[in-house]
Amino acid sequence: MVKSRTEYSARNTAAAVLGKVAAILTGFCTRVVFTHTLSQAYVGVNGLFMDILNILSLAELGAGAAITYALYRPVAVGDVEKQKSLMLLIRNFYRLVAVLVLASGLLVIPFMDVLIKGAPEGENLTLIYLLYLCNSALSYVMVYKRTLVDAHQLSYIGVLFQTGGWVVQGIIQITVLLTSRNFVLFVSVMSVCTLLSNLAVSVKADRLYPYLRDREVQKLPREERREIFRNTGAMLMHKIGTVLVNNTDNLLLSSLVGIVSNSLYSNYYLIIGAIHGVLRQAFQGLTASVGNLGAETEPRRVQRIFETTFFLGQWVYGLAAICLYELIDPFVALFFGPNYVFTKDVTLILCLNFYLTGLRQPALVFRDSLGIFWYDRHKPLAEAAINLVTSILLGLRLGTVGVFLGTAISTVTTSLWVEPLMLYRHFLGSSAKPYFRRCGLFASVTFLLWYGVDLLCRGVGGGLWAVCLKRLAICVLVTNPAYLLLYQRRREFRLLLDKARLLLSRLWDGGRRETP
């Protein structure tokens, strides 16, 4: 039985969300133990090294997204030879990336004293950094085969193996912290688990697609290689902008404020990043199906699906942002201690950035799925420049809140409007003005609800557990009914209900009917 795109999307999304939740719970437990067994300086070092390695991931150049896009049509029409050719290209590329990450990572070592203030005493930071670097390089080993699995709308397979690796890693790391408090051994566990997880995905891919082991593979024609390299160049610019915007906050905090500020941000980033990770995985579960849709259908239908996806995204991210703002401070105080809590202005900016990122998510999924990399290739560099300049200037003047305020300013002045504009102009072929009007409406409703919910939550008293539970109830029971009341007659809401009913009916009758 051939499954519909809706079913593939539902299965991939469900697996992505459940897998991410399992990984988050494991990571959270690991962070709690980490925080209570090691000092604040170790928490800051962990966050700093992770950001450095995220910057080094620029060596990947964004080729993964470009080649995955190139795979959608060969997969849709069953062109095995073209799939083999593309997989040969991406295999050679990722091997080169692993070498580049190692080489560029070694160049950072002489600058350790500049990047780290208030480092923990008695630790060989160079050795610890090399272990982080080794784990980053290993993440590219054998991972290329997952690209083909994802292009066949089976991304849940890679998610399950990756989640299993994270859970095992967390259990072993917690054991190490409780028994030895050895930070070096704690970091070493990551490399072993990363390698085993990638190996498992590789073996599964070989079983699903035996032609991956074929030795006779034709090279791609020059025109197709040129198109991939063109898209790769555009994705490199996107990747540079993303890394500089999202992964320089720890560096700026460490340099402008101090490593202890990193330790506070690391805990907030753990929670905010976890929620964003779950929601992002949910939307990423649509990627292959959107790519398949774009390869087989007309832009008007793609536009209808995009607008419905955006409607769902603003609802989910709006609710999540409100919940985060009301709950994250007492949550951090409860699990990490009151000395790890930011001031309320910092929390507000962090949650605002989370919401703005959420508004962008549908456009990013459709951009990557439909191959619209080239047209806004200069946008990420402008965003990164604005972010860096404003974060430094405001950070010097306002401290921690200024660093995060710079991120918000760069997002609003670039990505928030450029990305959907390029989608409408270069693929959908229609005006983006109705989209921006809807975006303004949805954001205004969310901010008004946010203000009202905050007024209600301010009157909540009791212990930290009681405050968290009461505020959660207020956020959910006020925000969702308000959204439902306001949006129940919208076309996007009705389409979501129709899709849900259709999916449930197919699951109920065993999938005997095909989606129209």
Tens digits of residue pLDDT in 229-244: 777 777 777 777 776 7
The rounded mean pLDDT for the chain is 81
pLDDT-based confidence at residue 467 (cuts at 50, 70, 90): very high
Judge whether 161 and 20 are in contact, CB under 8 Å.
no
The predicted pLDDT at position 510 comes to 54
pLDDT of residue 121: 60
**CA angle centred on 269, ends 471 and 443, rounded to 5°:** 60
Question: CA 57, CA 347: separation in Å to the nearest integer?
Answer: 28
Residue 497: HSE in the Cβ half-sphere, 13 Å Cα cutoff:
9
Contacts of 17 (CB under 8 A, 6+ apart): 278, 281, 282, 285
Predicted confidence (pLDDT) at residue 72 exceeds the cutoff of 60: yes
- pLDDT in the model for residue 314: 94
pLDDT digit string (tens) for 73-102?
788 778 888 888 888 888 888 888 888 888
The pLDDT assigned to 344 comes to 92
pLDDT, residue 329, reads 93
For residue 125, the model assigns a pLDDT of 75
Separation CA 293–CA 299 (nearest Å): 9
Per-residue pLDDT tens for 469-515? Answer: 999 999 999 999 999 999 999 999 988 888 777 767 766 665 444 44
CA distance 405 to 393: 10
pLDDT at 516: 38
Contact 313, 358 (CB under 8 A): yes
Least confident of 112-116, 144-148, 425-429: 112-116
